[in-house]
Amino acid sequence: MAQSKSLIPKPDLPETRNALSLLEANMPPDVYPCQTGMRYQDNVKYVKWEFPETLHTLTLMQITDVQFGHVQCRYNRVIEFRDWILAEPNRFMFWGGDMVDAGTKLSIGDPWEQIAGPAAQVYKFCEVWGPARHRILGYVGGNHELRAFTYGDIGSEIARILRIPYSAGRQAVDVYFGAHQPFKISLWHGAGGARTKGAVAQVLDRFMQQGDSQLYLMGHLHQPLIMPAWKQYREPKSQQIRLQKVIGALGSSFLETWGTYGEVAGYAAHDVLMPCAKLEVDGHWEMLLR
């Protein structure tokens, strides 16, 4: 169903001299320590976070393929997910790319499907997510961040405004919490045009074969999926082969299918489902779709 006009954010912007100061006033500071490494200009490839055991559990949700700025973005669901994360102090998120739609005359679809131009979309997106910027642990860009190449890398612009670690490609995040020393996450937006579950699983599986992470988060394909696996590793001192649980997951999208290029291209209709990992202090963890 098409979104009510009242749910579409107005593209009107404040005067330039007040815009960033208004955003700044709405953004809380970081609460927990963060370190970054492998910096390439505006890109951060390695991120480390530390959390106290007093939180008891950590909930790590992926937010991906929001495509904010398209008239058919489910804006009510964006607010719902943001407020759910802010409702408890132990809920955090990873951004998976295509956070803004950023359509231009050269993009798939029509430019009049946008609520405003790329620059205004960036501002409104940061205005909406600013109150939760301290809950964002990592951010990888997607093809939509890069599609407005006449404007520049929109992901870098969003990351500068919100002061969050950003990578246009992939990002490794280490989370230190209780017995998780660390819990390792790999982020990547994804690639290709896979539509069947088997093809989507193949793309995700290839991603899961790279690196030594326990959780692999991907987006792009707009099909929610959780895929578990086990990796074996040697312990030379004990002369044992141990198994490590590994899960790959991807979320769907906040973009409607009907009335968009997704319908024209024959994509399957979907609602919003986002992967959510729950870490326990003792080292256990589970994976859900919310």
Whether 17 contacts 238, CB under 8 Å: no
* Residues 21-40 pLDDT 10s: 888 888 999 999 999 999 99
Give the pLDDT score at 260: 82
Identify the weakest region by mean pLDDT among 183-187, 231-235, 268-272.
268-272
pLDDT band at 206 (very low <50, low <70, confident <90, very high): very high
Give the pLDDT score at 88: 97
The pTM for the full model equals 0.91
pLDDT band at 146 (very low <50, low <70, confident <90, very high): confident
pLDDT band at 242 (very low <50, low <70, confident <90, very high): very high
% of the chain exceeding 70 in pLDDT: 89
pLDDT band at 269 (very low <50, low <70, confident <90, very high): confident
Alpha-carbon distance values, 15 to 10, 114, 131 (Å) = 15, 21, 21
- pLDDT at 67 exceeding the cut of 50: yes
The whole-chain average pLDDT of the chain stands at 89
In the chain, where the domains are located: 32-289
- pLDDT at 5 exceeding the cut of 50: no
* Residues 112-121 pLDDT 10s: 688 888 888 8
pLDDT band at 41 (very low <50, low <70, confident <90, very high): confident
Q: Say which residue the tokens 């205004």 belong to.
A: 120
- Chain centroid offset of residue 254 CA: 12
Give the closest residue to 160 by CA, choosing from 40, 42, 30.
Answer: 42
pLDDT band at 19 (very low <50, low <70, confident <90, very high): confident
Give the pLDDT score at 2: 47
Give the mean model confidence (pLDDT) for residues 81-109: 88
Lateral strand order in the sheet of 57-63: 166-167, 136-140, 91-95, 57-63, 275-280, 285-289
Q: Pick the residue with more confidence: 66 or 10?
A: 66
32-289 topology per CATH: Purple Acid Phosphatase; chain A, domain 2 (3.60.21)
